[in-house]
Structure 1
Amino acid sequence: MNDEQKNSMLAKVAGAAVALAAAWVAHKAIDAAWKAASGHKAPKPDDDGDAGLSELVAAAALSGALVAASRVLATRGTKSFASRVNRNRLTR
């Protein structure tokens, strides 16, 4: 395995780890914001609560959009970081 393949694999693994961490942080932020705004936790798919359909749809849309956006931004940031590291390694 050459250096470029190793760097590519490292960037993929780091990108996946950062994306998972970003999704977890976004999910926690959504839970905190939902509780602050409504006074109770956001509805979850496995809850037997009495949340209405509009509340379920709003929670799903908000969490899906923010988690997806955070994962995309984290992945792009990791890719950018990996390319800067590779550029710096090549110039030395």
Structure 2
Amino acid sequence: SEADLAREVALAADRSDIVEELVRLESHVTQFDRLLDDESPGRALDFLAQELGREANTIASKSLDVDIAHAVVEIKARIERLREQAQNVE
């Protein structure tokens, strides 16, 4: 029926919406920046890097856009570098 089709379209649109993940990514980056001023932020930085990775993975799984996929690869590479540096901070 038309209602079922509308419901399916709405569900598909919701699954591909990455706005929430982008907002959380921005929040995590802001927290990461603040933690750099702490005395021994290593463990917290590592945790935030894990969260950044989760958001990047969710964006990758939701998006069918090639440009977004390339951006996610770059983001994940940078997150990995951040994690390595965070381990050196502690």
Q: TM-score, normalised by structure 1?
A: 0.42
Q: Hey, which of these two has a bigger chunk of helix by percent? A: 2
* Rg comparison, structure with higher value: 1
Give TM-score scaled by structure 2 length. 0.43
